[in-house]
Amino acid sequence: MENKGSDEVEKLKTKFLSAWHDVKYSWALKSKTSFSRNSPVLLLGKCYHFKAEDDDSVTEACYQASEEDFVMGNVEAFRKDFASRVWLTYRKDFPSLPGSTLTSDCGWGCMLRTGQMMLAQALILHFLGRDWMWSEALTLQPLDTETWTTAVAKRLVASLEASLHVSAGPSDHGSSPTSKTQAPGSAEEADAHLKEMYHRTLVSWFGDSSSAQLGLHRLVRLGLTMGKQAGDWYGPAVVAHILKKAVEEAVDPGLAGITAYVSQDCTVYSADVIDTSASTPPDSRAVIILIPVRLGGEKTNPEYFDFAKSILSLEYCIGIIGGKPKQACYFVGFQDDSLIYMDPHYCQSFVDVSTSDFPLQSYHCPSPKKMPFSKMDPSCTIGFYSRNVQDYERISQELSKVLQPTAKEKYPAFTFIQGHGRDYNLSAGLTPEKREWPFIRDPRRTVTTAGDFVLL
């Protein structure tokens, strides 16, 4: 009886916390992100500048972005690029998670969501390419004090009203959207239709159900094998290993040619990355490389700021998952000394992605956020995407140059080494959360940020 009573208390606590988190994270406070017109903005290898097109002085500040990746004087291009990234947030009212009665990840699943976003960016590079942008990205409404559900409901009502007006006029049953998409009239339309199919399929892999290949239910189930349960806090290193297992165990044919690799003690062993024991030939196998690192002691060392900027300036970088202590963020770019990130701390309703026409709007974020580098937690995981062996060799050579320590930096954030990890007698008994990372301790430096441009 006593055990039964304690179980009931725990269930009541769970319900109460879930209800509180639903209320806490279902409202997006109206906030405006300030961007300077005088500094370039880097977004996963793409460089944007909001200044006038006749200013030639800004191109030098775009770090390692190539000339073809440089976009000047176009705010809408940046907005569309950012909104095209897949946004995974807290959800509620989905089927119970493995090993628990929880039907929401509000308040604890943010690091898993950031890991999903980073993985989604890798899949976008694989299937769609870095230049792909969602055609409806600029139609998204900015997050305000209303819930996303309310905004969607308003748009649905407006759509229904419009359809009623249309139905009152001449009928046009022969030109439905479905028939148009099934029989595109040009090669461009056919290509756009194919990419949109990839886009929708990709998002469905991250659905909140046990059948979703890379969904929260699958990640939580894999976390159980590492001693993590639904409701626990997941660190960036543990999430990296969970993502690796999820990619390896995915059974969808579309994911057959993709694998994942997690570095060991901040070291990437090249022979392990291109291991020929894979089921697909190594020269045609794409690899998602995940590198857990620690960029300081208790706080991020300011000497790593330029390193992080260099990493986020590379097109094959799929971002950084980390954030503030106990508050995960997905870092996708920067301007000056501020990181640009996607925030998973927003509770949305469950979407059934098994339907062919499920809404995509809630999987894309219209509002970027910024955070000073100085507030970044030093523990994070950096991700890269390599399409094949040749691509990996180029990436490892380029990154090795970026990783060259400066006079002030005594250690690189991570290293590349030829051979297998087993050749170096690594300790295999350490769990991911117990691994140590090299770091530097330096006096704390305060970083201020200012902007004279507001992106709503």
Active-site residue set: 110, 343, 345
Query: Is residue 384 within 8 Å of 312, Cβ to Cβ?
Result: no
User: Residue 348 forms beta bridges with which residues?
Assistant: 91
Dump the DSSP string for 201-213: HHHHTT-SSTT-T
Q: Which helix (H) or strand (E) holds 167?
A: helix 148-168
DSSP state of 254: G
Distances (CA, A) of 257 to 37, 316, 438: 42, 18, 33
Q: What is the C-alpha to C-alpha distance for residues 62 and 40, in angstroms, rounded to an integer?
A: 6
Q: What is the number of other CB atoms lying within 10 angstroms of the CB of residue 225?
A: 10
* Angle of the 236-249 helix axis to the 110-127 helix axis, nearest 10: 50
Distances (CA, A) of 420 to 112, 274, 276: 29, 10, 12
Compute CA 69 distance to the chain's CA centroid, rounded to the nearest angstrom: 21
Q: What is the number of other CB atoms lying within 10 angstroms of the CB of residue 185?
A: 8
E-strand ranges in 286-407 read: 286-294, 317-324, 327-335, 338-342, 348-349, 369-372, 379-386
Distances (CA, A) of 137 to 152, 243, 316, 329, 336: 15, 27, 22, 21, 25
Longest dimension (CA), the chain: 78
Q: What is the C-alpha to C-alpha distance for residues 129 and 81, in angstroms, rounded to an integer?
A: 12
Q: What is the C-alpha to C-alpha distance for residues 30 and 144, in angstroms, rounded to an integer?
A: 5
Token pair 């009886």 in the structure block, residue:
1
Burial of 37 (0-12, 13-18, 19+ CB in 10 A): middle
